[in-house]
Amino acid sequence: MVEAGSVSEECVVVAKIQTNGVGRCNRKWVSEEGNLFASILKKPPVQDLGQLSLTAACAVREALLGCISSVVGAEYTADHDQQLKLHWPNDVYYANSKISGILMTKVDGWLIVSIGVNVNARPHNVGSATSLKAVLWGEATTKSIDTIDLLNRVLKSIGQWFHSLHSLGFSRARNYWLRNINEIMCRVVIKNGNWSVDGVFQDIDDCGRLVLEKNGNRLFISSGDLFANQEGLVINHA
């Protein structure tokens, strides 16, 4: 906890298990023991929450890749690099399955970056999720990933990426996103509550907004959930 008058500009809270984990849009985050649940309190280097959110996802992906490399060796990391993808607005996926989610809020001038990573346990009854352990060794092994090592990598990576954002701007994070997403130039659906829109994912702009092309128009979307527009999906516009 950061006390009034403290000179500290960062605080980290880590939980072994969560009994009421919350994800984006107040959805439940399934919190299996053995995974990483951390909230990082920082004084934000910039004020644009969209830029900060996407930059944090870059940092988590890079930390995960570094953790993988330390376990399997650099010569085997390239294949994992190809499978480890960013998913707008701020998730990390492995082989089309979610491995990490980020929730970001501002409170009294503090930025709270809450990170969940499925390190050793795949959430039950969540078919679209995987774990780092499953990625590296499968489900049945007794091996495990060191959550403290991953946490330290995440903290270091976030510090470096946020410093880059402050000193060099958003272009590095934007380019990193465009290199590490599957859906660019593909038809997608964005849902936000009861509202949804489909179109072609064209770009990410300088504010971290998704740029969607629909009927010759460019739409700039700040928040929502992204889905592949599979045949048969019904689009309802509110």
Q: Where are the beta strands (DSSP E) in 78-149?
A: 84-87, 91-94, 97-107, 110-117
Give how many domains the chain has, as a whole number: 2
Same domain? For 116 and 51 the reply is yes
Same domain? For 23 and 78 the reply is yes
Any domain includes 107 = yes
Any domain includes 2 = no
Any domain includes 3 = no
| Host domain of residue 56 | 10-179
Same domain? For 144 and 194 the reply is no
Any domain includes 235 = no
Same domain? For 116 and 156 the reply is yes
pLDDT at position 206: 92
Task: Enumerate long-range contacts of 143-149, CB under 8 Å, 24 or more apart.
Answer: 144/34, 144/120, 145/67, 145/71, 145/119, 145/120, 147/34, 147/35, 147/36, 147/119, 147/120, 149/67, 149/70
CATH number, domain with residue 51: 3.30.930.10
CATH number, domain with residue 212: 2.30.30
Same domain? For 49 and 143 the reply is yes
Same domain? For 172 and 199 the reply is no
Of 139, 162, 179, the residue at which a domain comes to its end is 179
Any domain includes 4 = no
Same domain? For 216 and 141 the reply is no
pLDDT at position 139: 83
Any domain includes 43 = yes
- 212 Cβ neighbours under 8 A, 6+ residues apart: 188, 190, 197, 199, 200, 201, 202, 218, 219, 220, 221
Same domain? For 214 and 122 the reply is no
Q: Comparing C-alpha atoms, which of 186, 3, 163 is closest to residue 88?
A: 186
pLDDT at position 127: 63
pLDDT at position 218: 96
pTM over the 0.75 mark:
yes
> Could you state, in chain order, the average pLDDT of each consecutive group of 10 residues for the chain (238 residues)?
56 80 57 86 88 96 97 92 95 94 90 94 78 92 94 96 95 97 92 90 94 95 83 40
Any domain includes 233 = no
For residue 228, give the 3-state DSSP assignment: strand
Same domain? For 97 and 127 the reply is yes
Same domain? For 121 and 195 the reply is no
Cis peptide before 89, with omega less than 30 degrees from 0? yes
